[in-house]
Amino acid sequence: MNQPIPYGRQHITDDDIAAVAEVLRGPFLTQGPHIGAFETAFARYIGSPYAVAVANGTAALHLCCIALGVKPGTRVITTPITFSASANCVRYCGGEVFFADIDPNTALLDINMVRELLEQHPRGYFSGIIPVDYAGYPVDLTAFRALADEYGLWLLEDSCHSPGGSFHGGDEQEHRCGDGSLADLAIFSFHPVKHIAAGEGGMITTSNEALYNHLLRLRTHGITNKPGDLTELYPGEPERGGWYMELQELGYNYRLTDMQAALGTSQLNRADVMLARRQEIAQRYDEAFAGTNVITIIPPDSVNHAYHLYVIQVDDRKGLYDFLRTKNIMAQVHYVPVHLMPYYRQFGWKPGDFPNAERYYAHCLSLPMYPTLTDEEQDYVIESVREWAALRLVNA
C-alpha cells in the first residue's frame, strides 16, 4: 500500500460539510439551536431520557464527577486498561483513584476484583465505580448495578468506545450502552476516530432529571437564568430584567459549538450503517485469525460489540508493531495501563499490582478499524499479520 493505513480515521461526507456550512452562514456559532437538536437526536439514538452536549469526553467525565459529589477524600474505582481521562476526572476533583484488575477474557474491569477490593475496606470507604466499555465491548452493568447498590455506590459508565453497543445482562433484558437504565451517568466522545466524529465534543446521558439540570448549569460556568432556579431578591436589589443571570456555583466553560453539533447530528444520521460496517470488519478479522496464534476476543451472542477498536494479542507485540510499520500499517497500542503512568506511580501504584492488565498490555495491538476501511485494505492488513506470524515460526 502506498498510502498509510491508520488504526482509525474519520469519515466526512458532503452532507457533513453542508451541515457545518449552514451553521457558518447562520446567526449562531456557539450555543445555538443545533445543540439542542443534537442532544435530542443522540438521546433518542441511545435510548436515554436526557443528554447534555459538552466540549469533549474528558469534560464530560469531569462534570459527571462534580455532579456526583467527588471531592477530596472521595474514593473511586476504575480499570487500569483505559485512556487516562477515566481516572483523571476523579483527580480533577481532588478524589482518590483506586484500580481493580481486568478480566483477561474480555479486557474489561473484573467485577470479582472490584468486589474483592470493596470487601477489603469498610462500607462507605468507596463512593463510586467507573466501568469502561473498552474497545466497544459493553460492560455487564446489571452485575455492576447490583454490586453498587449493595455497597451504596454510584456508577459512571465510560461509553466513549461503545455508542450503539448493547448487551443482555442478568435481568435478560437488552440494555443499550449509556441508556440510563443502570448507570447514574454515562459519557461519550466525538473525537475524530470515534463512531461519531465532531472534531471534538462529548455527551453525557442520564435518566436522572436532577443530575441533568445540574450538568446543564455546570457546563456553562455554573450560571443559570431560569426563573424557577433563581434566588430571592436580596435587600436593596433593583428589579430584575430579562438580562439577569446568576452564578450559583463554580462551573466551567465546557460548551459544545453549534458547528460541532451540526456535524455530530449529520454523522448520527448514518450511525447504524457505520456500526454495521465496523462489525462486518471485525467478523472478517475474526475469521481470518481463527486457528492461528493470534489471540482475539470474540464476545458471546448476548453482547452487541460496538468495535471502536479491534485488538489482537501476540507474543512479540513490538515485533509485529514494527513490522506493520514497514508495511505502512499504522497499528496502535491501547493502552499503557494507567497505574503505570508516572503520575499515578507517585501514589504508590507499581508494576505487578494488576497482572492481568499488565499481561494484556504486553501483548495487545489495535489493528485498523474504521467504516471506510476497504476490503482490499483489510486483506492487506490480514496478509501482513499472517506474513509476520509465518516468519516468527520459521525463526523460532
Whether 82 and 26 share a structural domain? yes
Q: What confidence score (pLDDT) does residue 48 get?
A: 98
| Residue where a domain stops, chosen among 233, 268, 303 | 268
Q: What confidence score (pLDDT) does residue 330 get?
A: 98
Write out the DSSP string of 93-134: TT-EEEE-PBPTTTSSB-HHHHHHHHHTS-TTS--EEE-B-G
Whether 206 and 344 share a structural domain? no
Average pLDDT over the chain reads 96
| Residue where a domain stops, chosen among 268, 301, 323 | 268
Whether 293 and 327 share a structural domain? yes
Given a cut of 80, is residue 102 above it in pLDDT? yes
- Bridge partners for 278 per DSSP: none
- Count of CB atoms within 10 A of residue 40's CB? 13
CATH number of residue 324's parent domain: 3.90.1150.10
Query: What strands lie across the sheet with 174-176, from one edge to the other?
Result: 174-176, 166-168, 303-304
Tell me which residue range forms the domain holding 142: 5-268
Given a cut of 70, is residue 395 above it in pLDDT? no
Whether 251 and 301 share a structural domain? no
Given a cut of 80, is residue 185 above it in pLDDT? yes
Percent of the chain predicted with pLDDT > 70 = 99
Measured CA distances, 71 to 211, 229, 327, 357 (Å): 17, 24, 48, 27
Burial code of 148-158, b = ≥16 C-beta within 10 A, e = fewer?
Answer: beebebbbbbb
Question: What are the pLDDT digits (tens) for 27-70?
Answer: 999 889 999 999 999 999 999 999 999 999 999 999 999 999 99
Gap between the Cα atoms of 198 and 192, Å rounded: 7
Question: What are the pLDDT digits (tens) for 261-318?
Answer: 999 999 999 999 999 999 999 999 999 999 999 999 999 999 999 999 999 999 999 9
For 38, the grid coordinates are 443534537
Q: What confidence score (pLDDT) does residue 31 get?
A: 85
Instruction: Specify the number of domains making up the chain.
Output: 2
CATH number of residue 131's parent domain: 3.40.640.10
Model pTM score: 0.97
Percent of the chain predicted with pLDDT > 90 = 93
- Confidence band for 239, pLDDT divided at 50, 70 and 90: confident
